[in-house]
Structure 1
Amino acid sequence: MSTAQRTHKALRWLAGGLLSGAAVLAGCGGDGVSVNDTVQPSAEGWQWVLPAHFPVPKVPESNPMSEAKVDLGRHLFYDRRLSGNGTQSCASCHQQDKAFTDGRAQGLGSTGVLHPRSPQGLANVAYNATLTWANPSLVTLEKQMEVPLFGEDPVEMGVNDHNRVEVLERLRAEPVYAPKFAAAFPGVATPIDWGHVIQAIASFQRSLLSGNSRYDQYLQGKVQLSDPETRGMRLFFGEKAECFHCHGSFNFNDQIVHAASRVVETPFHNTGLYNLGGTGAFPEHNRGVFELTALVKDMGFFRAPSLRNVEVTAPYMHDGTITSLEAVLDFYAAGGRNITTGPYAGDGRQNPHKSELVGLIDLNAQEKSDIVAFLKTLTDHEFLTHSRYSDPWPRP
């Protein structure tokens, strides 16, 4: 099979082989619906407005979607009072204009503690089979939400046994919340509790759907890609650059779950970013899945993030140590990173645990530029600015 045939086959699978999918708008009636969108109603009256090449998201039976719950979750997501010291909200590390990342190499907690890893984007997080960079056991947004809220090493939101009641009292004192919690959780005597806070925020996160990039419009026949973008697309989905092996799904990653999923794969990868002293090791507190399993084979294994909106989510990699898309292309073309001096010195290209998918790739400057041009077609500008996902609180 030729490269052109493989590219065509990959694009045909990506565009037409799935059920029906996500969108820039969810549950908004007719607003934003085009002839290429499908409306998927749920038992709770929620509607997914979905481009045809996205599947219906999977939602836990214990936390069905509703407009009231998403609206409440949006208010909580942007509320600084939800942190232990009242200084930080979820949105502090997940900013809409950066596809819900924050532009930092390392996340910064409410008490000033640096997280060892870079905050991940939340666009299309509903489709992630696992959450966070390297924890195979976190498979629901509800469970993952407990980590930033209550985690102590590192501290993120900083809610703990000493201030947990106080934080809830702050929410109860806000007049906006009583009717919103009652609407989101009808028939509950005391709806303002941590379980409902978590369910509401998870519902809002599931609504953060990005499917209106120029690439999506190209698949729908609405726009044409430029010559460099088209060449970059063919390289991306072809065997020469091999990007699609880890980023070939409709969401441009390789861990996908949706309502019709039967088999869910959760691969993690060592990309050769480090090889401390030639031992195969990664830096302490950033050793990937190994930190949970203590298995040598899991050293440096991290989840491949979605490349949607990747243009605005720099810096890159789990620790933010690569600052541009061009540098990312150079890194992968070299088959890893060789650090020659300092405490992290070592040739990552020779890491014994490196994925077989990461190897030397012969790309010239024009080909790298074309791939970057294609990656920029994955930016969904409407998602980055739409009021449905924005801060609902009045600010000075």
Structure 2
Amino acid sequence: MPFKSQKSRLGTLSICLLVITSLAACDQAATVVKHDAYQWSIPAGFPKPTVPQDNPMSTAKVSLGRYLFYDKNLSMDQSQSCASCHLQSQAFAEKLVVSIGSTGEHHRRNAPALVNIAYNKTLTWAHDGLTELEQQILLPLFGEQPIELGAGGNEAQILSRLQQGPYPKLLQDAFPEHQGPMNFVHVTQALASFVRSLISLNSPFDDYAYRGQDSALSETQLAGMGLFFSEKFECHHCHGGFNFTQSTSHEKQPLDRRPFHNTGLYYTKRIGLTTTKEVSIHYGYPEIDRGLAEVSTNPKDDGRFRAPSLRNISLTAPYMHDGSVATLAEVIDIYAAGGRNVTTGEHQGDGRNNPLKSPFIKGFDISEQEKIQLLAFLESLTDSDFITAPPLSDPWPEAEK
């Protein structure tokens, strides 16, 4: 994948935000419709996610978003849909190291799992300003570096496809006060509503911890749970709370927490030029992706990324922001070592020596039995209902794909 500059990436986001602002101005009707109270698929005892006031949840809007999510007509060449990179069977992630867009361009990041992101305080791997799905969805739609769905410059053609099949009825149900064809405000609001509906809170761990089913976890998983929440391993510091991530927001969470972490994955040589055009050598995360530092421009944010939820984590390999770690066992080994020592390839360097590494990544001793127990506990966070639920599956008949 060709290297994309920091300026280019930030420019793409700015363009996307301008697009949605102009689209919203063209059709205010899409944001003022009142709906009946949406029935969340949330077990008793869990808080409800917060939802933007200008895009309230409704069953009809979720239904429209579901059709759009699985529709390849949303891409410039009808080759990909949102579901192409977010497969239900993989907890709405994919098995590729990094995603590949509709033009065949390889991205620089691994597709994150869409698990309970209605609860996420921030979105994407490393952006502290993206807090609403309506904004984030603009990136796969209109982003140009890299191109994902490639809607930019193809808006009229794509929208013309969305005037056929079930869409007129779905649009009328979702936005009853709107007169006329679908626009990209409807698209982004409906997609955001569907993605917010992807709630996963029915794992064996939930049966044990929240529903009092003592037999839901095996002895091995219980031992692993003890290790996970121990001060020795520190896992819960970055993956705490009911959603197993610090980056959590909901109706009962008043704090504005936007944590990002450098986990010592890299500490590689970077060669650049000074203002006097002399060669300068620095060390840190690879230039291809420096994490939050690209947005904040603060050098101390180099290599800082959002800790994802660990729910359904056993289904979402490969791991890390760039998909560079193949298995959960390898992830544990890296944290046990206090970072990763890359000895081959273009990003060689000892991440254990990264001075910006989180203080929680300090290394620990772990036996093979303890590793088995910890992996068993992580397996208990898998929600088998989530990955097979018909309301979240592809609604299109096979003949219409």
Q: How many positions carry a matched residue from both structures?
A: 353
State the partner residue of 1:386. Answer: 389
Q: Which amino acid aligns with 1:265?
A: R
Match of 2:218 among 226, 242, 254: 226
Match of 2:354 among 346, 351, 354: 351
Cα displacement (A) at 1:54: 2.0
Q: Which amino acid aligns with 1:241?
A: F
Any gaps of 5 or more consecutive residues in structure 1?
A: 1-41
- Measured against aligned partners, the alpha-carbon deviations of 1:225-284 in whole angstroms (never above 9, x if no partner) come to 111101100000111111000001100111011123211201100000000039442112
State the partner residue of 1:4. Answer: none
Match of 1:362 among 358, 361, 365: 365
State the partner residue of 2:156. Answer: 165
State the partner residue of 2:304. Answer: 301
Tell whether the 8 Å contact from 1:280 to 1:353 is kept in structure 2 after alignment: no
Tell whether the 8 Å contact from 2:85 to 2:93 is kept in structure 1 after alignment: yes
> 1:248 & 1:259 partners in 2: Cα distance?
17
Cα displacement (A) at 1:49: 3.6
Tell whether the 8 Å contact from 1:185 to 1:191 is kept in structure 2 after alignment: no
> 2:240 & 2:361 partners in 1: Cα distance?
15
State the partner residue of 1:334. Answer: 337
Q: Does 1:205 align with 2:195?
A: yes
State the partner residue of 2:175. Answer: 185
Cα displacement (A) at 1:291: 1.1
Tell whether the 8 Å contact from 1:129 to 1:139 is kept in structure 2 after alignment: yes
> 2:345 & 2:324 partners in 1: Cα distance?
14
Q: Does 1:237 align with 2:229?
A: yes
**Which 4+ residue blocks in structure 1 deviate beyond 4 angstroms?**
none
> 2:181 & 2:389 partners in 1: Cα distance?
29
Cα displacement (A) at 1:343: 2.0
> 1:45 & 1:358 partners in 2: Cα distance?
43
> 2:197 & 2:98 partners in 1: Cα distance?
26
Q: Does 1:127 align with 2:130?
A: no
State the partner residue of 2:38. Answer: 46
Q: Does 1:291 align with 2:282?
A: no
Cα displacement (A) at 1:43: 6.6
Cα displacement (A) at 1:53: 4.0
Calculate the TM-score normalised by the size of structure 1.
Answer: 0.87
> 2:36 & 2:288 partners in 1: Cα distance?
42
Distance 1:53 1:237, change over 3 A: farther
Match of 2:246 among 251, 254, 270: 254
Q: Does 1:118 align with 2:107?
A: no
- Measured against aligned partners, the alpha-carbon deviations of 1:291-339 in whole angstroms (never above 9, x if no partner) come to 1122110100100000000011000000011101111110100000001
Q: Residue 383 of structure 1 aligns to a residue in which SS?
A: coil
Tell whether the 8 Å contact from 1:274 to 1:280 is kept in structure 2 after alignment: no
Q: Which amino acid aligns with 1:383?
A: F
Deviates more, 1:296-305 or 1:355-364: 355-364
Tell whether the 8 Å contact from 1:275 to 1:351 is kept in structure 2 after alignment: yes
Tell whether the 8 Å contact from 1:44 to 1:64 is kept in structure 2 after alignment: no
> 1:124 & 1:131 partners in 2: Cα distance?
11
Matches within 5 A, 1:17-96: 44-96=36-88
> 2:75 & 2:130 partners in 1: Cα distance?
22
State the partner residue of 2:204. Answer: 214
> 1:140 & 1:286 partners in 2: Cα distance?
23
Match of 1:139 among 131, 134, 150: 131
Tell whether the 8 Å contact from 2:41 to 2:199 is kept in structure 1 after alignment: no
> 1:214 & 1:47 partners in 2: Cα distance?
23
Q: Percent identity over the alignment?
A: 50
Q: Residue 251 of structure 2 aligns to a residue in which SS?
A: coil
Tell whether the 8 Å contact from 1:70 to 1:203 is kept in structure 2 after alignment: yes
Q: Which amino acid aligns with 2:261?
A: H
> 1:346 & 1:44 partners in 2: Cα distance?
55
Q: Residue 42 of structure 2 aligns to a residue in which SS?
A: strand
Q: Which amino acid aligns with 2:40?
A: W
State the partner residue of 1:32. Answer: none
Q: Does 1:372 align with 2:364?
A: no
Tell whether the 8 Å contact from 2:126 to 2:260 is kept in structure 1 after alignment: yes
